[in-house]
Structure 1
Amino acid sequence: MNMRSRPGLLALAVVLWVLAPTGRPGGNLALAGPPLRVFVAQSYDADYIWCEHINQGLLEALAPLSPVVEFAYLDAKRQPDPESLARQTGHMVERIRQFAPDVVIAVDDPAQHYLVVPYLKDKPGPQVVFCGVNAPLANYGYPAANVSGIRERWHYRDAFALGKRILPAAKTVALIVEDSESGRYVVADLAEELAQNGPFALEVRHVDVVRTESEWRDKIKRYQDEVDILALGLYQSIRRDDGQGVVAPEALMAWTRENNRKPLLGFAGVAIRDGHLFGVLESGQEQGYLAGTMAAAIAAKGIAAGTLPVGLNDQGVVMLNLAAAARLGIDIPFEIIEAAGIVLP
């Protein structure tokens, strides 16, 4: 797998600001006194590739400080019911109390809703840095005196333009996404992007927020004859038809690959694993790195999180799957392959 990446402009700006004179010789980020204590509150689970990539970015950004880092997971994809999330939050709050972090990094929307807003926001400490947030910040009362961070956006416009380049005859696309808090927010982002910046390279013929496995299957089958490209958003919280939890995303996508003959477009890292033809992927590593640089700034300058401006990810990674292209009989131009950040053989 060929991968290329670059630091976001916000990350560079924050790093330069952190390295500005601080009274510490040479701008060295190593802190005097006890090591920085960072508690990472993930909304999902440790095996979810998005969480893995965010953790990698966080640890990379924080490495110069040699911090003590503790991770905790709400498991909101696999156990999305409010009772489970409230119970997991209670455990997390107790762990934070015992760990006594300097900074809490809260990842994705469930962590804001269940943890930060009721327990951490507008408190003297710890400082809070969020990342992976899709909701309008006003929903959480952000930014606050002790809270700032990184918003998340999907690269719809770039992805649809890439689809048009790969398939010049393509005209239409359908987006299917799970019925979850995050799913509804990314759909709202699509509508906002369209309203603010005009038509995409592809006409978005359908946008569906689906709850159950049977709904998912129905949409996949229906759109085989209605659109040129299928864009698959989040699908980790699709409910089983018998009501017994969620469908394993690996099983859902195995069925999808067997029953789909349309090019699949993705926006997140799971597209790498799940056989999508192409995507312009948001980078979990970038989200984590940006949040980590903000935590480093808080530690290096001894400031409140709310004094730092809210940021937005800007790095979209082009992903191509050559095996999927061969299976569909699609010849991807070499110049697109050459410029891609991730090429799966």
Structure 2
Amino acid sequence: MFHRSPAAILAVLVMAAICLLPARGEATPYRVLVVMSYHESMPWEREIREGIESQLARTATLRYVYMNTKNDFSGGPEQARQALRVYHEFRPHGVIAADDDAVAMFVAPYLKNRVTTPVMFCGVNDEPTAYGFPAANVSGILERAHFRESIAFLHQLRPSLTRMAFLTIDNPTGRAYTRQIRQEAASYPATVSAIKLAKTLNQALAISRELRSTSDALFVIAMEGLPDASGRPLAEKEIFRAVSRCYGKPVIGMNEFNIRTGLLCAVAKNGQEQGATAARMLLRAMEGTPVSRIPITRNRNGKRLLNVRAMKSFGIKPRPVFLVGTQMVETEHE
């Protein structure tokens, strides 16, 4: 009988694995169109893209369209029409639509039950029924903030917390989050003292000053694109820093990049989970699984984050047991 040495067997296995990888320049089996609601530099969109590419970079040619609705909401419908032109030109095997605006302006009017191409959404805050989902060719992952868990974490850090206020932007995303808060409020470990929506930075700052006397902490949510006095849309980090200074009490958020701007803490959701989940669902559909057998899901993962500078500024000295599993982060340079 012929016997191979362990080294020879290992070499054969390595060569077999290499042969299974796509050769450089070899065409990938799938084309995937990704339509992003917002702008390319937005941290949330970068996280979603990282998640998508972690699953599809080796098996699909990816093409991105950014609708920029945080900075120019009124231009969204035209950007959706441009995405449709790209869809017809690119002829993708599958589509991923990120966040509500891409779903509302592109998927619902142009793709839902109109084409056979499988479509997976991610980052959707509204209820799927608002868009007529599930549909024959559409499924995906909803985005739900970890409000309850974040407030419970803050309560561990500040046991005196009894009144929690919320502030978000007055747009479809902000209004969807307020619906989630109202649905869950009875289960929060603090009374919801106010839910406020702002249309401008000046209005957000006025609300923050007003809430100082009626709440113990403020939860700020999804403020990207809120305009300043001149109408210029602002990055979320500018807004959060201004609101934090104005409010003067603990301010918490819901994403890691929020906490790195200087907010106190969060049990953070992340875009990587959204993008990777949608990509895996789409891959199943492109491989032949009917979309009707790929149910709509929601995000589950959360990461406890605590900003060191903010913690010290409020004189918070948590018991070590509360920090188990918590990532300590530093404030990014302004």
The normalised TM-score by structure 1 is: 0.84
Deviations 1:242-294 (A, max 9, x none): 4x342343332332243332111111243133211101111111111111110
Matched, 1:71 2:53: no
User: Secondary structure of 2:255's partner?
Assistant: coil
With over 3 angstroms needed to count, the CA separation of the structure-2 counterparts of 1:293 and 1:269, relative to structure 1, is same
Unaligned stretches of 5+ residues in structure 1:
1-27
Tell me if the contact between 1:74 and 1:88 (Cα under 8 Å) persists in the aligned partners: yes
Q: Is the 8 A contact 1:267 1:279 kept in 2?
A: yes
Q: Name the structure 2 match of 1:200.
A: 188
Secondary structure at 1:335 match in 2? helix
What's 2:108 paired with?
Answer: 117
Match of 1:177 among 160, 168, 172: 168
Is the alpha carbon distance of 1:210 and 1:29 closer, same or farther for their aligned partners in structure 2, counting shifts above 3 Å? farther
Confirm or deny: 8 A CA contact 1:80 1:237 kept in the other structure: no
2:312 pairs, out of 316, 322, 326, with 326
Question: Cα 1:179–1:163, aligned 2, differ >3 Å: closer, same or farther?
Answer: same
1:101 aligned to 2:92? yes
Partner in structure 2 of residue 251 of structure 1: 238
Match of 2:15 in 1: none
> What is the percentage of aligned positions where both structures have the same residue?
28
Q: Secondary structure at the match of 1:329?
A: coil
The answer on whether the counterparts of 2:168 and 2:197 sit within 8 Å (CA) in structure 1 is: yes
Unaligned runs of 5+ in 2: 1-19
CA deviation after TM superposition for structure 1 residue 34, in Å = 5.6
Partners of 1:39 and 1:96 within 8 A in 2:
yes
What's the counterpart of residue 73 of structure 2? 80
Q: 2-side partners of 1:288 and 1:324: how far apart?
A: 30
How many pairs are equivalent?
309
1:39 to 30, 33, 40: 33
In 2, distance between residues paired with 1:270 and 1:33? 36
Contact in 1 for aligned 2:260/2:330 (Cα 8 Å): no
Shift of 1:339: 1.1
CA gap 1:282/1:342 in 2 versus in 1, 3 angstroms: farther
Normalised to the residue count of structure 2, the TM-score between the two structures is 0.87
Secondary structure at 1:225's aligned position in 2? coil
Structure with the greater relative contact order (CA < 8 A, sep ≥ 6): 1 or 2?
A: 1
The residue correspondences of 1:82-161 to structure 2 (distance < 5 A) are: 84-161=75-152
Q: What is the RMSD computed on CA atoms of the aligned residues? A: 2.0
How much has 1:69 moved relative to structure 2? 0.5
One-letter code aligned to 2:309: A
1:225 aligns with 2:225: no
CA distance in 1, matches of 2:111, 2:21: 26
Q: Is the 8 A contact 1:337 1:343 kept in 2?
A: no
Cα deviation for residue 138 of structure 1 reads: 1.2
Name the structure 1 match of 2:53.
Answer: 59
Could you tell me how far apart the structure 2 residues matched to 1:141 and 1:29 are?
40
Q: Look at both structures and tell me which one has the larger radius of gyration over its CA atoms.
A: 2
Residue 202 of structure 2 corresponds to which residue in structure 1? 214
Asked if the contact 1:161/1:201 (under 8 Å) is kept, the reply is yes
Which deviations, in whole Å up to 9, do the C-alpha atoms of 1:298-322 show, x marking residues without a partner? Answer: 123x133233111111111111101
